[in-house]
Amino acid sequence: MLTRAARRASSGIHGSLGRTPLTTMAASAQSSSATTGVVDATQELSKKGAFVRTESQFRDALGSDKYPVEAGRYHLYVSYACPWACRCLMVRNLKGLQDAIGVSVVHPVWVQTKPGVDEHRGWGFGTDFAGADGDPIYGAATVRDLYERLAGGQKVTKFTVPMLVDTKTDTIVNNESSEIIRMLTSVCDSISSNPGLDLYPAELREAIDAVNAWVYPKLNNGVYRSGFATTQEAYDEAVAEVFEALDDMEEILSKQRWLAGDGKRFTEADLRAFVTIVRFDAVYVTHFKCNRKTIREYPNITDFMREIYQMPGISDTVDLDHIRHHYQRSHPSINKYGIVAVCPDPLLDAPHDRARFPQA
């Protein structure tokens, strides 16, 4: 029997017949955004055609005097398609914060966010795709609407998820996923059902940071640098680093259970790698042209991926339907007709052999 993720992976049917496939406007959107100043990820390019991700704008801290930890006060906006957002969702589940921090899931397919104003396309809300929600807090139609309402007068030109919002003061706390996951794991014990979980323990921070220092640029961001490149030189450089990272990861995981330090403890470094790996064969191989090898050809990475997926709460954050439909229907400069390709069954529920290595 196919797993939930496998059924979604194999389905070729659009989950939303009401959404028009994004078949036009790549050049038009760039022209229009030059007028309004707004951008989407496909437009963050250097003069050499390389994708250059801009920094997140909102960087306040949960647990500060401004944003004290309180159950029911904060709301997290995410996309099942987005690896950055899903790592926050994963930590929320692992930490046992489901009853304390609310979540809304955006529609996977980008929509035009300001019709008649510009051609920007980005995250919207809609319930016509299984698993997507409306916005129960503000009734926003798009994530852009949320930013413009909650930014406190700041000029915002990029409208991303995740977004952690304080519903008491109607402000954006933070939209940088690497900081959100650390806040959730480190300062939320008082509202958590799993307060003992620490994914960034003091004794492993140097080792975790060392892993993140190559996993982020080469793999997490590397697949985007490959997919959004507009010159051969930029693509060649990016895709080489993607597989350099995967080759190194396979070697590490052939000797130990987890990535950081002596590999005996599951940490944020593993979680940050997982969100890219679990999307790799479904979309990055084809859509982002990272096709030298598939994850299935890396046996240790494959089993590492399966072990994490099978942890309680993780499978609920992996929706291959959202993943496939987002990437392949939201980037007309890459996939003009919005055709959603099928992908192999990832067999995420299959047995793995990671128990052959010790863990703390």
Residues in the annotated binding site: 123, 158-161, 176-177
CA distance 220 to 86: 13
Residues paired with residue 164 on neighbouring β-strands, in sequence order: 76, 174
CA distance 9 to 202: 38
Residue 77: burial class (beta carbons within 10 Å; 0-12, 13-18, 19+): buried
Q: Which residues contact 209 (CB under 8 A, 6 or more apart)?
A: none
> At how many degrees (to 10) do helices 268-279 and 205-215 cross?
20
Residue 233: burial class (beta carbons within 10 Å; 0-12, 13-18, 19+): exposed
Catalytic-labelled residue, pool 224, 235, 284, 309: 224
Catalytic-labelled residue, pool 74, 77, 82, 88: 82
- 65 C-beta neighbours (distance < 10 Å), count: 6
CA distance 330 to 278: 19
User: Is-catalytic flag, 290?
Assistant: no
User: Is-catalytic flag, 82?
Assistant: yes
Residues paired with residue 165 on neighbouring β-strands, in sequence order: 75, 172
Which sign, positive or negative, has the C-alpha torsion 31, 37, 42, 43?
positive
CB-based burial, 106-121: b 16+ in 10 Å, e otherwise: bbbbbbbbbeeebbbb
Amino acid letter at 144? Answer: R
Radius of gyration (C-alpha) of the chain in whole angstroms: 20
Q: Which residues contact 328 (CB under 8 A, 6 or more apart)?
A: 283, 287, 335, 338, 339, 340, 341
Question: Residues annotated in the binding site for glutathione, as ranges?
Answer: 123, 158-161, 176-177
Provide the pairing of β-strand 102-105 with 74-78. parallel
Show which residues are catalytic: 82, 224
